[in-house]
Amino acid sequence: MKHFGKRLIVAALAVVALSGTALAQEIMNIRLGARDIGSIDPALTKTGDDETVVLQVFNSLVAPPRGTLDMDIGDLQPQLAESWEISDDNKVWTFKLRPGVKWQKGYGEVSAEDVKFSYERQMDPALGGVHGASFKDIESIEVVDPLTVRFTLKDANAFFHASALTPGFGRFIVPQKAVEELGEQFGFAPVGSGPFEFAEYRPQDRVILKANEDYFLGRPPMDELHLRYIPDNNAATIAFIAGELDSSGGERTPEWVAQIEQQAPDAQIITMLPGSLQFLHFNMKVPPLDDVKVRQAIAYAVDRNVWEGAFGILHGDLTAIVPESFYGALQTADIPEELRYDYNPERAKELLAEAGMPDGFAIDAIISERDDYLTNMLMVQDMLRQVGIEVNLEVQDHASYHANIREDKGTIVELSTAIAPTAPAVINEFLSEAAAVGKPSALRNFSHYGELGGSVDDLVAQAVAEPDAAKQMELLTEAQLQILRDVPVLPLQTAPLLSVLQGNIDLGYEPVSGFGQHEFATARRVTE
């Protein structure tokens, strides 16, 4: 009996030890700054945090090289599509899908029908998604055979891959059968083809994803991802320092960076450009902003070198409206000196005098209370005061501010926002006539450029349709120079997206540029 007891104990210990090994799951804890899910149906995402989840579960047709936003057509990488053909006039894009890619949870194989369904679904205005505008130039989508799909565009578009096919902004392929079967539930428990599959959602707490054993690019090293909703920055920082989180988005302040460097010295601090583009939009309906000399005066009066000193590694230069790293951007070196608007308060005063306001003027402006908005605006306010322009600020909560600027109540409007990395995308979204606030097709043209004066719509349209890359660049350069002459907006800076990873996490690639989301398909824990 004694022996039996001993054996029982040994056996029990062995079982515990074995089960301990079997249960040693590699779990990665990732912080999301939102309070909860909006929707993790790729067609209905509205926030970067929702996109982070989607990026782990779904695939696009093609992608830029990992960790970059390199949209050069020659560098495109296959994802669900293994090869593609583009007609000489850039109007017909044909994709051949990888055979045998499986949908998760037994929903069959990824087919051309699914691709057609995914895009047509987003183009339906009744769906309530916000990504539909990216797909407006699609005339038709045709299933050539079960693994071949063909997009025919209304007009030639050399940028179609960048605006509609690469990951982010809803451009993911979803399984038709699962979407139809699951209905609204698809937004909380999606089914994709990506490296991780949905396992559990705990409201306001976390989304749990588990490794997709059948992933066509190989099973990810991590067994589970716990994407945790932690809105409070302090709480997230403490948890990161304590090691309870492996990855977290950071507070975009130099103080926060210093705190992490000091208290978690092993952590990897990652900045990704372009991050948020920060502009001042001048509402050209509001005098005296309707006068180009006044807008130029403001451009000269704002010392844009200050931002680098104030934000350190959280700053990126923005001389023209399109960041230099974007496809089709005007390079700073190519901007003539008189259009660079280097800080010159004397020139600002001269221009104000020429505009008939030698003593300056006062103007009311609204601004969001959010840090990245308010800090910039207070700096601008102070600099403008030096040349006699008094900006009377009314600070509003973020939701009210956005509602008000959409109703055209802004004068000098500030925006801090991420956008698809091509010159036409930026220009069309902020400066095309159709995007002017107040129009049914309004996007974010708060200056009414193109509607009230100046327009680069034709130049951009020609560039997008132009098959010859050199001519395309010429047209885009001319458009960007014209914008610099008219100053409907004043670019301030880009604020890179910031994230931290524990020192023992290796993502498997180097994130250089992007919209702030990391892919965790190859992330692994490095043993120390």
Partner 1 sequence: MLRFVFKRTLDAILTAFLVFSFVFFAMRLLPGDPVIAMLGDRASAETIANVRTSLGLDKPILIQYAEFLWGLVNFDLGQSLINRASVTETMMRNLPYTIALTIASTIVGVVIGVPMGVLSAMRAGKVTDHVTRMGSLVGSALPDFYLGVLVLMLFGLTLRWFPLLGGGDTAFDLRYLVMPAMTLGLLKGFGMIRLTRTAVLDVAGRDYVRTAEALGMSRQNVIWRHIFRNALIPVTTHLSLSIIATLGGTIAIELVFNRPGVGQLLVGAVTSRDYTLIQGGIVILSVLVVTINFLTDLLYAVIDPRVRAA
* Shortest separation between residue 278's beta carbon and partner 1, angstroms: 13
- Site for partner 1 contains 371 (CB under 8 A): no
Cα–Cα distance, 43 to 132 (Å, whole number): 9
- Site for partner 1 contains 444 (CB under 8 A): yes
* Residue in 277, 272, 273, 275 with CA at minimum distance from that of residue 489: 277
- Site for partner 1 contains 24 (CB under 8 A): no
- Site for partner 1 contains 183 (CB under 8 A): no
Residue from 10, 17, 36, 382 in contact with partner 1 (CB under 8 A): 36
Residue from 1, 3, 21, 184 in contact with partner 1 (CB under 8 A): 184
Crossing angle of helices 371-385 and 292-301, rounded to 10°: 100
Position 5, amino acid: G
Residue from 22, 23, 24, 126 in contact with partner 1 (CB under 8 A): 126
Count interface residues toward partner 1 (CB under 8 A).
55
Pick the stretch among 200-208, 335-343, 461-469, 475-483 that binds partner 1 (CB under 8 A): 200-208
- Site for partner 1 contains 20 (CB under 8 A): no
Determine the length of the chain. Answer: 528
- Site for partner 1 contains 228 (CB under 8 A): yes
Q: For residues 167, 215, 201 and 270, what is the CA-based torsion angle, rounded to 10 degrees?
A: -50
Q: Which is nearer to partner 1, 385 or 439 (CB)?
A: 439
Chain-centroid distance of CA 287 in Å reads: 33
Joined tokens for residue 461: 């349209």
Q: Which is nearer to partner 1, 309 or 440 (CB)?
A: 440
Cα-trace Rg, the chain:
26
Contacts of 70 (CB under 8 A, 6+ apart): 64, 513
In three-state secondary structure terms, 38 is coil
Joined tokens for residue 473: 């660049």
* Exposure of 99 in the CB half-sphere (CA atoms within 13 A): 2
Joined tokens for residue 116: 């057609």
- Site for partner 1 contains 241 (CB under 8 A): yes
Cα–Cα distance, 241 to 415 (Å, whole number): 32
Residue from 21, 234, 262, 527 in contact with partner 1 (CB under 8 A): 234
Encoded one letter per residue, x for contact with partner 1 by CB under 8 A and - for no contact, window 90-119 reads ------------------------------
In three-state secondary structure terms, 424 is helix
- Site for partner 1 contains 374 (CB under 8 A): no
In three-state secondary structure terms, 388 is coil
- Site for partner 1 contains 25 (CB under 8 A): no
Pick the stretch among 106-114, 152-160, 234-242, 249-257 that binds partner 1 (CB under 8 A): 234-242
* Shortest separation between residue 217's beta carbon and partner 1, angstroms: 30
| Contact set with partner 1 (CB under 8 A) | 35-39, 46-47, 125-126, 128-130, 132-133, 184, 187-188, 202-206, 228-232, 234-236, 238-239, 241-242, 244, 396-400, 402-404, 406, 415, 417, 429, 437-444
